[in-house]
Structure 1
Amino acid sequence: MNKTFLSLLSVCLTISGVFGAEEKNAAEAFERMKSFAGDWEGTAEWTGARTGTYPMKANYYLTGNGSALVENLIAEESPIMTSVYHLDGADLRMTHFCGAQNQPRLKADQVDLSRGLINFAFVDITNLRSPDAPHVHGMEMRWIDPNHINVTFLFQSGNKESRERIDLKRAAKKHD
């Protein structure tokens, strides 16, 4: 009986340690993301079913007393794409407000702070007009250094996939 109890206790402590580490990683990643506040500029490149390269600007700012980071991606002659990043308990989440007028919701499923990587996986979507309608289905964010970040969106439209890689350089840091 004692052996079984100790084994069960060991498993519970291991699991709680893993969840505690995930919560810490999500919180640390979000704290690092808060440093993105300000203006950025760079380029975006489509690969896959869509192709093309074009200039991209971005603006990041905090809202909700620092509880959410708002990202606006701005390309000429295109609707502004807005994403909102926030913590939900132990999870780092993102809602993307797309020019296609749908709202994919994603959750960080991989956070590797040593490599500056956050991978967001699709959770669900609101306002999708049809199952084949184009939408964001995943996203990867990498911070290279305090002045360079890469964001890669995975778009899905039916059985066709495209990736939009956005390379950004800080234009001006937001003043407090």
Structure 2
Amino acid sequence: MSRLLLLLLTSLCSFSAQAADSVAVERFERLKELAVGAWQGTTDGGGSVRVEYRTISRGSVLVEVWQPGTRAETMTVFHRDGERVIATHYCAQGNQPRLVLAERSSKTFAFEYLDATNLVEGASHLHGLVLAPVAEGGLQRDETYRGASGDETSHLRLRRVADKP
């Protein structure tokens, strides 16, 4: 009897892990479909920015590059981590915040702060990131930075300029 119970519990745990894992797979695949390509946008301050998304490592990683080929280039790397989707942001400020995809909406990709490397206490760092599709194939990108003086959120509306960077 105890063997049967153990087998049943093991099967249920395995099924539960596979179901959670399949959610992460589905969300990551949808994120890749949404973003891959080159995008152009205007910052809150009126500046122009180019953002490119591409996959690497046989499609297991989505790379976002801001201002490619410039001194201001930054990168965010998205990938699955078991049941989660993680974003690691390599910031021009020299820190590397990691964010995890929250389970809020199936259409919006909201990442919340998890931890960071090379972060000096009180220094400004990426604390929240939202990617959301908008009308006419656009992409809304909102990022929240947290520092000693509080939170500051910026909004960027992107339009696709090429399917492949």
- Give the TM-score normalised by the residue count of structure 2: 0.81
Match for residue 48 of structure 1? Answer: none
Q: How many residues align?
A: 154
Is 2:116 the partner of 1:125? yes
1:146-176 Cα shifts (integer Å, max 9, x gaps): 831111111011132111211111101129x
Q: 1:76 to 1:67 in 2, by over 3 A?
A: closer
1:168 to 147, 158, 161: 158
Which amino acid in 1 is paired with 2:80? L
What CA distance in whole angstroms lies between the structure 2 residues aligned with 1:122 and 1:140? 12
Q: 1:76 to 1:43 in 2, by over 3 A?
A: farther
Deviation at 1:25, TM superposition (A): 3.1
Q: 1:75 to 1:55 in 2, by over 3 A?
A: farther
2:66 to 70, 73, 91: 73
What CA distance in whole angstroms lies between the structure 2 residues aligned with 1:76 and 1:44? 19
Instruction: Extract unaligned runs of 5+ from structure 2.
Output: none
- Aligned Cα RMSD in Å? 2.6
What CA distance in whole angstroms lies between the structure 2 residues aligned with 1:163 and 1:77? 23
- Give the TM-score normalised by the residue count of structure 1: 0.76
Larger strand fraction of residues: 1
Instruction: Extract unaligned runs of 5+ from structure 1.
Output: 46-51
Match for residue 55 of structure 2? Answer: 62
